[in-house]
Structure 1
Amino acid sequence: MLKQEIKNINADLNELKKFGKTVGAVFSAIGLFLFLYHKMQFGFYIGGLGILLVLLGVIFPQSLKNPYKIWMTLALVMGFFMSRLILTILFYFVVTPIGLLAKMFRKDFLDRKFNKEKSSYWNYRTKEEYQKVFTERQF
């Protein structure tokens, strides 16, 4: 699945231009911030790389094909692992405690209790007069 996505990275001319301009602008802004506010010489190099990316994106975007593929591969791999990590954390720190608390307080969210005296488990709705407002703006 991940290998297939990496193989299908779209590296056409418009994508390369957008990549050069966007990443170059972000690198330039980071470099400027580091150079001006933290007096770091490293910011000068980051800013220079950003300006180079912007210029290449405008003048010769085909030269950005390999950096673009590397960048997007990194992004896809990070996205693959981070989405699973975030969902795992969400499950174990949100869903599991809710389930444990529900068990402790004997809460049954699905109303699954079995009652032999009931002839049917059908839940009847209360009759309401139809109003046009009920079917408008359903989302």
Structure 2
Amino acid sequence: MEKLNCDRKSLRKFGITMAIAFLVLSLIIFFKHKAVPPVLPAVSLAFLLLGMFLPSLLKPVYIAWMRLAHALAWFNTRLILCILFYLVFTPVGLFLRLLGKDLLDRKIDRNAGTYWRQREKRHLTPAEYERQF
């Protein structure tokens, strides 16, 4: 894991962000159940006050939160790539094989003298040399 940026500004932003997150969570619970556990606004207020006045006290929480975030990112990346490979690329590849398609033109032609593709010969203008792609 790369070195975390634990400067005062990052810790302050973390405290304010967590305060907003707990406040939003409190509001969602309030609108759904018409009651809020008092611990949620208290945690929100604690994050806000610590973030504004003593951000250095949030450093252990920040480090733990970022380690959790890195672990979740590592897992989610592999999960998404596996799902993409096994549920998208593999079925498409099997389907194309069943149809006998070779989209990459990988067939070996033993009688071919070369695999170069001939291009039409045409005179290019200087403007076309400027915009190659």
Could you say which residue in structure 2 is the equivalent of 1:28?
23
- The answer as to whether partners of 2:15 and 2:58 remain within 8 angstroms in 1 is yes
Q: Deviations over 1:60-88 (max 9, x none)?
A: 10110111011111101111111111111
Equivalenced residues, count: 132
Matched, 1:82 2:114: no
Distance 2:131 2:23 in 1: 49
* Aligned counterpart, 1:93: 87
Q: TM-score, normalised by structure 2?
A: 0.86
Gaps of 5+ in 1: none
State the Cα distance separating 1:135 from its structure 2 match: 4.7
Aligned to 2:52: 58
CA offset at residue 97 of structure 1? 0.6
CA RMSD, aligned part only?
2.2
- 1:39 corresponds in structure 2 to 34
Residue 137 of structure 1 deviates from its aligned partner by 10
Output the amino acid matched with 2:88.
Answer: V
Q: Quote how far apart the aligned CAs of 1:112 are.
A: 1.4
Q: Aligned residue for 2:67? A: 73
Q: Is the 8 Å Cα contact of residues 16 and 61 (structure 1) preserved in structure 2?
A: yes
What is the alpha-carbon distance in structure 2 between the residues aligned to residue 78 and residue 18 of structure 1? 21
The CA distance in 1 between the partners of 2:125 and 2:106, in whole Å, is 31
Amino acid at match of 2:26: G
TM-score normalized by structure 1? Answer: 0.83
Question: How far apart are residue 118 of structure 1 and its match?
Answer: 1.8
Runs of 4+ in structure 1 off by over 6 angstroms are: none
Residues 101 and 130 of structure 1: CA distance in aligned 2, closer, same or farther (over 3 Å): farther
Instruction: Give the Å deviation of 1:52.
Output: 1.4
| Distance change >3 Å, CA 133–CA 52, structure 1 → 2 | farther
Q: Is the contact between residue 16 and residue 48 of structure 2 (CA under 8 Å) also seen in structure 1?
A: yes
Unaligned runs of 5+ in 2: none
Percent sequence identity over aligned pairs: 36
Is 1:15 matched with 2:32?
no
